[in-house]
Chain A
Amino acid sequence: MRELLELLEHDARRPADELAAMLHRSEYEVQQQINQLEKDKIILSYNTLINWEKFGDNTVTSIIEVNLTPEREVGFDAIAERIYRFDEVRTVYLMSGSFDLLVIIEGKSLQDVANFVATRLSTIEGVTATRSHFMLKPYKKDGVIIDNKEHDRRLVVTP
């Protein structure tokens, strides 16, 4: 099961017959396992990592530190939920340290992001402070080096 997940995490488009061969199992069995993993929400979604900068998009990514006042009973969860429901919000983590939530948002422009922070995020009840950082250049994302210059330098045939 772990091996299957690792293969899919690396390349979700791998056909079932190849997966089956690599895992020494039948195609049917692999398909069943994938279905089950999807049903159990262990596999959440199949995404594609896209180099949008290269495509020509100038989206703005902002990483925002958010401080909160926790609520009785639910702690940070209710506020986090209020934040992650916005489409602009890509990622939300509860953090240890000097702030509580790390929020990553994407917008079309600086203005767009600034607006969102000022009018939406800061105004949520329980949010006591925000500090925004703008991402300038991605080098590595989810284990993938964005501009990987390493290539196969081996000779074509060696003993």
Chain B
Amino acid sequence: MGIRSIGELICVQEIVAVNAMMRYWKYLFPTGLFALLLWGGAAVCRVDPVALIAGVPQGIQLLGHMLPPAWKTFPELIGPALQTAQIAFVGTVLGAFLSFLIGLIAARNVHSMKVLRNMVRAILSAERALPDLIVILFFVAIVGLGPFPGVMALAASSIGMLGKLFADAIEEVDPKPLESMVALGATKAQVIRYAVLPQIIPSLIANTLYRFEVNIRMCILLGVVGAGGIGFNLVTSLRLLKYQEAMAVIITILILVTLCEKSSEILRRIVVGQELLR
């Protein structure tokens, strides 16, 4: 180290300037802006912690009305609970099957009809953008109340997500086996059956199981709008102010959802785990 040259001096000034710029414009300004937006948003939504705290006794009172749960109603709830699980199961399987077919159309490496593929992709993303509740209400409107519109709604809303995931999985398969089967004279259906399907089976099963978990939760909501299942019991008992029965329904729902999620998780781990541990 010796006498600093003018060049070095300029360098130091530059460092100071850059550092200040970073401090104010890169960190302080964005943070300030974000804080302002958050405060503004909260003000518009009338976020009021005082009201929340003031409501606590009311909440405790409601909980008090719900306890103890009406244990004797449990036997009546088993039927609706099973129906909910069945709606979710049938809806998911139907949706997954249709999604596989749609995935084949939406995948880049299966056929060369670009317009058709882009159209299907666009429909899939439009379906994903549509809130599930609207899909459910749509099917209630066209096939009426009961478990059938529930099945249809779950199948339809599964397609948006599964169709895209399956199409992506199909696009990621190793192309060499496909081409080698084409080279020995296999038909397109045979190539799909023996080269594509075996490669995407793990993704197919894992994603379908995940969707089943989503659907079982959605299925509770289905009952609320009248499409069958245990959600209907919840709305009825709340409307009749039978809070203890409502609590029994809530507990049944918790058990049902937990059971379904756990068993799906175990199945998924068997399928995917096998892949990771090979």
Q: Do A and B come from one complex?
A: no
Q: Which residues of A contact B (CB under 8 A)?
A: none
Q: Which residues of B contact A (CB under 8 A)?
A: none
